[in-house]
Amino acid sequence: MSDQPRPTSGVPQPRPYRADEPAGGQQDPAGTPAPPAEPAPPAPAGSTGPEGVEDADRRRVRETTAALFRRLAQSPPHSTEHREARTRLIELNLPLVRYAAARFRNRAEPMEDIVQVGTIGLINAIDRFDPERGVQFPTFAVPTIIGEIKRYFRDSVWSMHVPRRLQEMWLQVSAATEELTGALGRSPTIAEIAVRLGIPREHVVECLEAGRAHTTVSLDSTVGGDEEGGRTLADRLSYEDAELGEVEHRDQVRHLLVQLPERERRIMMLRFFHNMTQSQISNELGISQMHVSRLLSRSLNRLRRVTLAELER
């Protein structure tokens, strides 16, 4: 989590979440007092316990939180009183972070890291919360905390730095590919995806290139249910020839293209980096489509030999 933001210095750090810790101030078998009861997940205002009486600890937390928000609103920003009220709000509502973080316990990330990210969400919720809107703070805070954690996972699963703009657009391209596949009954072309999203074709290609840096929902991962036959996102895109699979990792073969003659290098760039069909390339260069196909095959064979030679070194 080296490139992820951490809570501001001076902000109390939550203790690591323990899934087995007793609730409601009970004691564990060793007799060690458990932490105070945690606020429950968001619930409608005025909810009551099984006996018809609202849980005392929960009511205390709610009332104290409301009082602290009043202090926060009445004290000048950056004043000692304002800072103390804000810090106390964070401390009092850290159990909300542990509650939200527990939903992600099956992820590979350490729970302590997830809690740290969730704490950032809690701080954002405190800074944005408006008591005048009549919403209980947990109802507002928990979705904010969960959203922060989800953003962390979304960003951290990219194997190399990709601008946020491309990450978000890649998700739109993926969704459009799924929708068009269902609507058309076949794989959509790059042009059809571009029209659906109202963006240039070059942006679609750029997004697909960026998508190859994604390590969990990559172009090589399966999409859809069992009825889809385990097809990958790459399978959903219409390409005219099967040789595309030979240059799967384009970013890794760019340096190999300089070893090709100029015309073959241009054909490779048009085909695999500009996503032009063989027919479009033949029109662009004024040669037959069959000749384009032969040059592509020859270039791919040459690149394959060079790659194997590099691996044997």
Report the range of poorest mean pLDDT among 74-83, 130-139, 211-220.
211-220
Greatest distance between any 2 Cα atoms in the chain: 85
What is the structure's pLDDT at 119? 92
Q: Which fold has domain 242-312?
A: Arc Repressor Mutant, subunit A (1.10.10)
What is the structure's pLDDT at 142? 92
pLDDT of 280 above 50: yes
Cα separation of 115 and 131, whole Å?
Answer: 25
The answer to whether domain 164-236 and domain 242-312 are alike in fold is yes
Smallest Cα–Cα separation from 173: which of 227, 215, 217?
217
**CATH code given to domain 164-236:** 1.10.10.10
Residue 232 bridge partners (DSSP) = 222
- Contact residues for 164 (Cβ-Cβ < 8 A; gap 6+): 155
Cα separation of 300 and 63, whole Å?
Answer: 70
Residues 190 and 145 sit within 8 Å (Cβ to Cβ): no
HSE-CB of 42 using CA atoms within 13 angstroms: 14
We find that the CATH architecture of domain 56-156 is Up-down Bundle (1.20)
Q: How do the domains of the chain map onto residue ranges? A: 56-156, 164-236, 242-312
Smallest Cα–Cα separation from 100: which of 116, 87, 124?
116
Average pLDDT of the segment spanning 119-132: 91
Residues 213 and 158 sit within 8 Å (Cβ to Cβ): yes
- For residue 232, give the 3-state DSSP assignment: strand
- Phi/psi at 206 (nearest 5 deg)? -60, -40
**pLDDT higher at 155 or 146:** 146
Average pLDDT of the segment spanning 140-158: 80
Cα separation of 176 and 46, whole Å?
Answer: 43
Report the range of poorest mean pLDDT among 105-109, 121-125, 304-308.
304-308
pLDDT of 236 above 50: no
Q: Which string of DSSP letters, residue by residue, matches 66-84? A: HHHHHHHHHSPTTSHHHHH
